[in-house]
Structure 1
Amino acid sequence: MNTQALPKLIDARLEVAERVATLTFDRHDVRNALTGTQLVDDLLAVAEWINREAAEVSVLVLTGAGSAFSAGGNVKDMAARGGDFAGDVAEVAQRYRTGIQRMPLALQGIEVPVIAAVNGPAIGAGFDLANMADLRIASTNARFGETFLNLGIIPGDGGAWFLQRLIGYQRAFELTLSGRIVDAGEARQLGIVLEVVEPAQLMPRTLEIAARIAEQPPKATRLTKRLMKMAQRMELKDFLDLCACFQGMCHNEGEHLDAVNKMLAAMAKR
């Protein structure tokens, strides 16, 4: 792929190979905090690029450089009431709307499957970001915490919306109200992560899963991702109408005929 076509990023690195884009948060100096850095802007730029220009991308992988996936908000800025946390009620609210709250909207609207490879602690907004992905694979070094109440604040980035849809209201309520940290093993038991692997196997295993998805017909993959998201908020009859329209689109795509012929050829060899 022509690297000149990639979006220009400031605090993250983007690599594309075999239809899989890997976005690595690269601010280890602040444990990949999402405030006080350009990581949210970088993530939004990649999401927009995938939806608008990158038909050759079928999967997006998110991971962190260094020891953390993301520490969420910058606590030093909170203590100083500076940066993203400066100002009166209206100013802070507007900064959330035009800042970190763009992240859940972008992740909810991205057209390709998103896999979070959680290499280390995912805390606060970093935990919420992981939960915005479609799949989560965790290293044994990963830790997860909905820790906002510990700091006297609420999950202002939409985390309470995502977590209860992932693990149910009661478990999400307990994690959010207690503010406790869970390790990778408990996160798997709770249904937060799909798999837990040793640190050296995190990216190989994540890319193995990504590669399997990326082998699927790309246009149908994007439509299927859209259906999975829309199924969460539609009545069955309306949803079936949408499925019929999407299926009509798929049956008229060249990739459908290619896939059918490939399957027939494989059957003929048996």
Structure 2
Amino acid sequence: MSTVLRERQGSVLLVTLNRPEALNAFNAELHRELSDAWHEAGDSQIRAVVLTGSGRGFCAGADLNAPPASGALGHSTLRHALNANTLAMAALDKPVIAAVNGAAAGAGLSLACAADIRIASSGAKFVPAFVDIGLVPDAGGSWFITRLLGYARAFSWLASNRRLGAEEAREWGLVSEVLAPERLLGHALEMAEQLATKPGLAVGLTKRLLAQAARNSLAEQLEAEVTLQNLAVLDPDRARARAAMLEKLGRRSIP
């Protein structure tokens, strides 16, 4: 049985972590198959991705029933499996929506926070988990959570390991919406389809711009906007969208 299911729905790729008996915890096979999913997501025909979990959980992090990794072996797993998947996901020039259907803990929390948009089932739980087993956040958790919540709240939460329910996660801004479990996946796919149908390169380039904004000065960001706007303008689909807007508005000029 595949540990990661991939299903194309038009220009949307649905990626489902599929170890429900282990709350979709990471093992070596899941790492490999998730890497394959990000590779498929890079296909130009795919314009948005939805990531979710099967069964009761989104992802419980590392599988604690697997043989413990230590020393160089542990470093290798972190660098070449967890970190490689985080970087591959973040590098996609298309939106990734995490539909958090259940518990997201440890590296599974990091995975959810690496998505561009997070929506949650009313039964979802968000649990840092790291400190209670003597570990620090990994798989990008320290980077993404600090940017999502700010330093003070991120540190307090990660250091305390407090379980966060879906509604509180929404209040904090960790997720944008909370839905009934039966509505979660359908809504995520609808959101993805809406983003996938936006014309040209605009959505992917906007994602790239926002990623750069955190490290750029104002002058650097203004220059980045000029560079990426040139790419956006030159895409043929943008010209078609502009013409359609002109016809709709009955005007002779539009930026």
TM-score range for the pair, normalised by the shorter chain length: over 0.9
Give 1:66-77 correspondences, 5 Å limit: 66-77=55-66
Cα drift, residue 127 of structure 1: 0.8
Match of 1:38 in 2: 29
Identity %: 35
In structure 2, list runs of 5 or more residues that go unmatched: none
Cα separation, 2, equivalents of 1:130 and 1:86: 23
Match of 1:16 in 2: 8
Cα separation, 1, equivalents of 2:34 and 2:87: 11
The residue identity in structure 1 corresponding to 2:25 is: A
Cα separation, 2, equivalents of 1:204 and 1:60: 13
The residue identity in structure 2 corresponding to 1:116 is: A
TM-score normalised by length of structure 1: 0.88
Alpha-carbon displacement from aligned partner over 1:157-207 (angstroms, at most 9, x marks no partner): 221111110111111111111111111011111111000000011012112
Match of 1:253 in 2: 235
Structure 1 runs of 4+ with >4 Å offset = none
Return the match for 1:55 from 15, 35, 44: 44
Match of 1:135 in 2: 117
Contact between 1:149 and 1:179, CA under 8 Å: does it hold in 2? yes
Cα separation, 1, equivalents of 2:80 and 2:231: 35
> Aligned-residue CA RMSD in angstroms?
1.7
Match of 1:193 in 2: 175
Cα separation, 2, equivalents of 1:64 and 1:95: 22
Contact between 2:5 and 2:15, CA under 8 Å: does it hold in 1? yes
Match of 2:222 in 1: 240
The residue identity in structure 2 corresponding to 1:20 is: V
Classify the secondary structure of the residue corresponding to 1:75: coil
Contact between 2:47 and 2:95, CA under 8 Å: does it hold in 1? yes
Match of 1:223 in 2: 205
The residue identity in structure 2 corresponding to 1:19 is: S
Paired residues, what number? 251
Cα drift, residue 144 of structure 1: 0.4
Match of 1:170 in 2: 152
Contact between 1:50 and 1:111, CA under 8 Å: does it hold in 2? no
The residue identity in structure 2 corresponding to 1:124 is: G
Contact between 2:25 and 2:63, CA under 8 Å: does it hold in 1? yes
In structure 1, list runs of 5 or more residues that go unmatched: 1-8
Classify the secondary structure of the residue corresponding to 2:123: coil
TM-score normalised by length of structure 2: 0.93
Contact between 1:11 and 1:37, CA under 8 Å: does it hold in 2? no
Match of 1:102 in 2: 84
